[in-house]
A and B are shown apart, each in its own frame.
Chain A
Amino acid sequence: MATLSMSTDTGALREPTPPSSKLRWLFLWVSVLLLALLLVSRVLAVRFLSEMHTQELAATRALAERTRALSGLCLSMQSYDQAVQQFVAQTAADRDAEARRRLDQLTLEIDADFERYPIVRDSEEDALLNGMRGVFSQQRTFYITILAARPAERKRQAESMLAGHVVPIQKQILDWSGKLQVWNIERLQQADRGLVTQFANLQGSLSRVLAIGFGSGLLLVLGGMAYIVRLDRQTRARYVELARSRHALQQLSARLVDAQESERRAISRELHDEVGQALGALLVDIGRLSTTLSGDHPEVKAQLDNLKSVAERTFQTVRNIALLLRPSMLDDLGLAAALEWQGREVSRRSEIEVSVESESVPESLPDEYKIYIYRLVQEALNNAVRHSGARNAKVVVERLARSIVVRVTDDGRGFDPGRSRGMGILGMEERVKRLGGTLRVESQPGKGAIVTADLPIPAGGDA
């Protein structure tokens, strides 16, 4: 039984919880975070790389600067040496003063060179530089003693002095300068090594960030997919459920319509057959009794007349109720006669004059068709009587090549079919659908109404 399976289904139908919006926000935030992470790490990496580039440039520039300063220094010292040697070698006393000025100038230049040498606060470089300066001042002290001597003496001692002092000092200076150069190159290499380490660090942190980003992105995608799959499945399940319950509902309402009809028929038959016939028999008996007694007992006859009129009224009431439940002319005379009767009934009790055209209706229609067409017309006429204020209504039942068309037209005040769809129209729709047909309600305020049902010819109906 569909009714039973429906009642077990109601558990699933109970208040479907809407999917929580929390999860949606979580997805949004994680995605935003992920994108922000990638963006920030890109900005940082670019800045870091440009910084490294600057550092490298600075290191190279520093080396070039120092090399230039160092060679300048060496050059100045060499010039100084040569000047001293010239001075020692020459004998002309008149040119002493000039040579001395020249030497002083060179000394100043060398001092300036020393001052100009770019000094980093680094003890090693300082020590090397100071060593070199020390050698230079040793040389100067020595030269100053030479300079103090007279020119002839100077010339005599020059050879041995140069060999004994100047050359070794020059050698020392060269040594120091070589050491400085080596130190400079080392420093460059050191800076390079630092850069390489930094680069490696950058690489490491970049790949870490990428790994995190990729991992969480993957998680996000997987989570999203899982969520979508779940939603998808839920939607499908709900759709199937909806379709099933709609089908069940349709069946239920079809069965309701059927049940209502057979109930009515049963009650009507019961009323007609039992109550009606008993009353009929009673009337006949009362009539006979009253004929038999006529003249003899006037007071009894009066009572009998009273009895008879009560029985007659009851008889009519029962007949009317039975007719309302199930028009017996549908069984006795067929659909066309029943529709005509209904038209006359409506004309009798309302202000509407109903005309009925139903000659072409095949009388061999299945009972189901007859009663549904009858109910359809009944409902449409009832609506017209209750709401339309119409003066005339027309019922046409036509048999066409492939269908039976039932049309009820009235000239009342009409309505907007889109807005007012009462239970009456619903009931009509239900019956028409039950027969596999379509119902159309056309109306406009002030323009009357047309209710048209298009029913397929039943398989068992005559062709």
Chain B
Amino acid sequence: MKQTSVLLADDHTLIRAGLRMVVDAQPDLTVVGEASDGREAVAMAGKLKPDVVVMDIGMPSLNGIEASRQIRAALPDTQVVMLSMHSDEGYVLRALKAGAKAYLLKDSAEADLARAIRAATAGKSFFSPAVGQVLLQDYMRRLQRTGGEDSYELLTPREREILQLVAEGKSSKEIANLLNLSVYTVETHRAKLMQKLNLRSVPEVILYAVRKGIIS
């Protein structure tokens, strides 16, 4: 079995120790290093080239978001699982924009960490269930108050299909292969659905999908 190498980055020793035990308990995961702040995480990732970095958002000297951006820019094959105390969409969206694949709340980190790491390695998104709930609640409340329509209803079945695949992290080419369509057609559908939903980037598409419960 191929071992997945994991780098842990958290400024708290207690948390790191807990996380390490969780990861090491899994036969297919190995902790290759521990960093106590963002700068150290970037440096160690560059040296160890791990498959996954588990990163806390709030860290001194360089925070997790900025560290993720630097790691993702330098090492495209290394995925980031973000750990956070906050389920707010500001955090989630910024984590996604910084290149994180998974977003875990610290209070449920233990239960979902292994799954999140595995999803990230496979290039898929993963979010703590609570995150999806909060995002959905916010969205529903806004719709209710502003009297707006749920634009999801405006999508065609094909567009919904493509929305889910985009949110799962697949490229247009992969989607084209999967659905037996031309890349051009997929791009057109993709542009159309993003316009209908008023989304401007892939992270926003992912966020939307999480919010709607399309992916988790």
Q: Which residues of A contact B (CB under 8 A)?
A: 272-273, 276-278, 280-281, 283-288, 291, 312, 315-316, 319, 328-329, 331-333, 337-338, 340-341, 344-345, 347-348, 353, 391
Knowing A329-B90, A329-B91, A341-B88, the reply to whether A348 touches B12 (Cβ < 8 A) is: no
Q: Quick one: which of B22, B57, B91, B107 contacts A288, CB cutoff 8 A? A: B22
For B2, the chain A residues whose CB sits under 8 A away are none
For A287, the chain B residues whose CB sits under 8 A away are 22, 110-111
CB contacts under 8 Å to A, within B75-122, are 85-86, 88-91, 94, 106-107, 109-111
Question: Could you give 21 example pairs across A and B, Cβ below 8 Å?
Answer: A277-B15, A280-B14, A281-B12, A281-B14, A281-B17, A284-B21, A284-B22, A287-B110, A288-B110, A316-B107, A329-B86, A329-B91, A332-B91, A333-B90, A337-B94, A340-B90, A341-B88, A347-B138, A347-B141, A347-B145, A348-B141
Closest to A273 in B: B12
Q: Quick one: which of B18, B64, B90, B146 contacts A341, CB cutoff 8 A? A: B90
- Residue in B15, B91, B107, B111 with the greatest tally of chain A CB atoms within 10 Å: B107
B193: interface (CB < 8 Å): no
CB contacts under 8 Å to A, within B140-180, are 141-142, 145-146
Knowing A277-B12, A332-B58, A348-B141, the reply to whether A288 touches B21 (Cβ < 8 A) is: yes
B19: interface (CB < 8 Å): yes
Closest to A311 in B: B107
Q: Quick one: which of B85, B91, B110 contacts A284, CB cutoff 8 A? A: B110
User: How would you classify the secondary structure of chain B's contact residues: helix, strand, loop or mixed?
Assistant: helix
B30: interface (CB < 8 Å): no
B36: interface (CB < 8 Å): no
Q: Quick one: which of A284, A332, A344, A347 contacts B18, CB cutoff 8 A? A: A284
The 10 closest A-B pairs by CB, nearest first: A287-B110, A284-B18, A281-B14, A277-B12, A337-B90, A353-B145, A284-B110, A341-B90, A281-B18, A280-B106
For A276, the chain B residues whose CB sits under 8 A away are 85
Would you give the shortest CB distance from A9 to chain B, in whole angstroms?
43
Contact A332 B57, beta carbon cutoff 8 Å = yes
Closest to B141 in A: A347
Chain B: how many interface residues by the 8 Å CB criterion?
32
B25: interface (CB < 8 Å): yes
**Bound-state Cα–Cα, A332 to B11, Å:** 14
Contact B58 A328, beta carbon cutoff 8 Å = yes
B63: interface (CB < 8 Å): yes
Contact A347 B91, beta carbon cutoff 8 Å = no
Contact B107 A312, beta carbon cutoff 8 Å = yes
Would you give the shortest CB distance from B109 to chain A, in whole angstroms?
6
**Bound-state Cα–Cα, A13 to B21, Å:** 67
Given contacts A328-B85, A337-B91, 17 further A-B contacts (CB under 8 A): A278-B14, A280-B18, A280-B106, A281-B18, A284-B19, A284-B110, A287-B22, A312-B107, A316-B107, A319-B85, A332-B64, A332-B65, A337-B90, A340-B90, A341-B90, A345-B88, A391-B145
* Contact flags B6-35 to A (C-beta < 8 A → 1, else 0): 000000101101110110010000000000
Would you give the shortest CB distance from A420 to chain B, in whole angstroms?
27
For B142, the chain A residues whose CB sits under 8 A away are 347, 353
Contact A277 B14, beta carbon cutoff 8 Å = yes
**Bound-state Cα–Cα, A288 to B15, Å:** 13
Contact B63 A331, beta carbon cutoff 8 Å = yes
Closest to A318 in B: B85
Contact A333 B141, beta carbon cutoff 8 Å = no
**Bound-state Cα–Cα, A287 to B112, Å:** 10
For A348, the chain B residues whose CB sits under 8 A away are 137-138, 141
Closest to B112 in A: A287
Contact B94 A333, beta carbon cutoff 8 Å = yes
Q: Quick one: which of A273, A277, A319, A353 contacts B146, CB cutoff 8 A? A: A353
Would you give the shortest CB distance from A433 to chain B, in whole angstroms?
30
Contact A272 B58, beta carbon cutoff 8 Å = yes
Would you give the shortest CB distance from B130 to chain A, in whole angstroms?
10
Would you give the shortest CB distance from B14 to chain A, in whole angstroms?
4
Closest to A339 in B: B90
Would you give the shortest CB distance from B106 to chain A, in whole angstroms?
5
Would you give the shortest CB distance from B29 to chain A, in whole angstroms?
14
For B14, the chain A residues whose CB sits under 8 A away are 277-278, 280-281
**Bound-state Cα–Cα, A353 to B14, Å:** 40
Closest to A286 in B: B110
Would you give the shortest CB distance from A350 to chain B, in whole angstroms?
11
Closest to A351 in B: B145
Closest to B134 in A: A348
**Bound-state Cα–Cα, A283 to B22, Å:** 12
**Bound-state Cα–Cα, A271 to B64, Å:** 20
For B58, the chain A residues whose CB sits under 8 A away are 272, 328, 331-332
Closest to B57 in A: A332
Would you give the shortest CB distance from B12 to chain A, in whole angstroms?
4
For A341, the chain B residues whose CB sits under 8 A away are 88, 90-91
For A345, the chain B residues whose CB sits under 8 A away are 88
Would you give the shortest CB distance from B85 to chain A, in whole angstroms?
5
Would you give the shortest CB distance from A60 to chain B, in whole angstroms?
118
Closest to B10 in A: A277
For B94, the chain A residues whose CB sits under 8 A away are 333, 337
Would you give the shortest CB distance from B9 to chain A, in whole angstroms?
14
Closest to B20 in A: A284
- Residue in A288, A316, A333, A347 with the greatest tally of chain B CB atoms within 10 Å: A333
Would you give the shortest CB distance from A241 to chain B, in whole angstroms?
47
For B12, the chain A residues whose CB sits under 8 A away are 273, 277, 280-281
**Bound-state Cα–Cα, A284 to B12, Å:** 13
Contact A333 B91, beta carbon cutoff 8 Å = yes
Closest to A284 in B: B18
Would you give the shortest CB distance from A271 to chain B, in whole angstroms?
11
Would you give the shortest CB distance from A449 to chain B, in whole angstroms?
20
For B21, the chain A residues whose CB sits under 8 A away are 284, 288
For A291, the chain B residues whose CB sits under 8 A away are 25
Would you give the shortest CB distance from A221 to chain B, in whole angstroms?
76
**Bound-state Cα–Cα, A16 to B91, Å:** 58
Would you give the shortest CB distance from A423 to chain B, in whole angstroms?
29
**Bound-state Cα–Cα, A173 to B121, Å:** 170
